């Protein structure tokens, strides 16, 4: 962990410097178990720790945090506001507008998150093609607007989501998991560890009506790696 944090600090020290005591706004997101903003586990997420260490080791800046979704974060970046995130997936397009740290965390791939009853309707598969699911008019899916799910999955969605059952919405991961659990939508795409956290905390799902939420893995052809690298990122400011 220490070496990862050093990498984050190198990222800031090697980037063009802001003026002393310029304000840095950090994205925060209630995204347990990665970042936890409320409840009994508040502040105990992996990215909570990374954010605290970054702030502690960068006293030359005035740090503030603001809760926002990904659509808002990338809007602020594109408008040249002083904003950073302790956790972002790297894409070629994003490298044009933000600086990235070295990887500080590796996570397992995203999966399709559905209720148990809907997975049964698909035949209880261990993996399922997102392309087939997008075209299945029995279901309705929501995913976060402006969020990346790795380059391969992003490209598949971009190619097939027009006219499909999938809608991009400016919602938080927490809201989307709850929508699936309560039947407002049938599926989302999320890290299995996030869905598992909510499923183990039934009160967070408001005692969902239709049973346990489960994951369906994406086929190997949709996965670039067995683990996904997560980076810190900051807007590209001018000298």
Buried b (16+ CB within 10 A) or exposed e, 156-188: bbeebbeebbbeebebbbbbbbbbbbeeebbbb
Buried b (16+ CB within 10 A) or exposed e, 91-129: eeebeeebbbbebbbebebbbbbbbeebbeebeeeeebb
CATH 3.40.190.10, the chain: domain bounds: 2-107+229-235, 111-222
pLDDT the model gives residue 7: 46
Please list the pLDDT of the chain residue by residue as tens digits (239 residues). 444 444 454 455 444 454 457 889 999 999 999 999 998 899 999 999 999 998 998 888 899 999 999 999 999 999 988 899 999 999 899 999 999 989 999 888 889 999 989 999 999 998 899 999 999 999 999 999 999 998 888 999 999 999 999 999 999 898 999 899 889 999 999 998 998 888 777 555 554 444 456 677 666 655 555 457 788 888 775 53
Name the class of domain 2-107+229-235. alpha beta
Q: Which of 3.40.50.10470, 3.40.50.12640, 3.40.190.10, 3.50.50.60 would CATH assign to domain 111-222?
A: 3.40.190.10
């Amino acid at each position: 962990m220490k070496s990862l944090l050093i990498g984050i600090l190198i990222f800031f020290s090697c980037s063009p410097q802001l003026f002393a005591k310029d304000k840095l706004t950090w994205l925060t997101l209630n995204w347990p178990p990665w970042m936890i903003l409320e409840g009994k586990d508040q502040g105990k997420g992996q990215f909570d720790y990374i954010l605290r260490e970054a702030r502690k080791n960068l006293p030359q800046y005035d740090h503030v945090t603001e809760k926002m979704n990904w659509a808002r974060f990338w809007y602020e970046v594109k408008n040249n506001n002083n904003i950073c995130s302790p956790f972002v997936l790297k894409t070629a397009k994003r490298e044009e507008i933000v600086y990235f740290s070295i990887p500080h965390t590796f996570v397992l791939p995203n999966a399709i998150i559905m209720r148990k009853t809907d997975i049964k309707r698909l035949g209880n598969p261990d993996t399922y093609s997102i392309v087939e699911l997008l075209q299945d008019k029995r279901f309705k899916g929501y995913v976060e607007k402006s969020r990346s799910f790795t380059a391969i999955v992003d490209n598949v969605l971009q190619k097939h989501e027009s006219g499909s059952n999938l809608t991009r919405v400016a919602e938080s991961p927490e809201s989307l998991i709850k929508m699936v659990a309560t039947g407002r939508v049938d599926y989302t795409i999320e890290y299995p560890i996030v869905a598992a956290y909510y499923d183990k905390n039934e009160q967070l799902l408001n005692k969902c009506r239709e049973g346990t939420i489960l994951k369906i893995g994406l086929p190997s052809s949709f996965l670039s790696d067995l683990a996904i690298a997560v980076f810190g990122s900051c807007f590209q400011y001018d000298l």
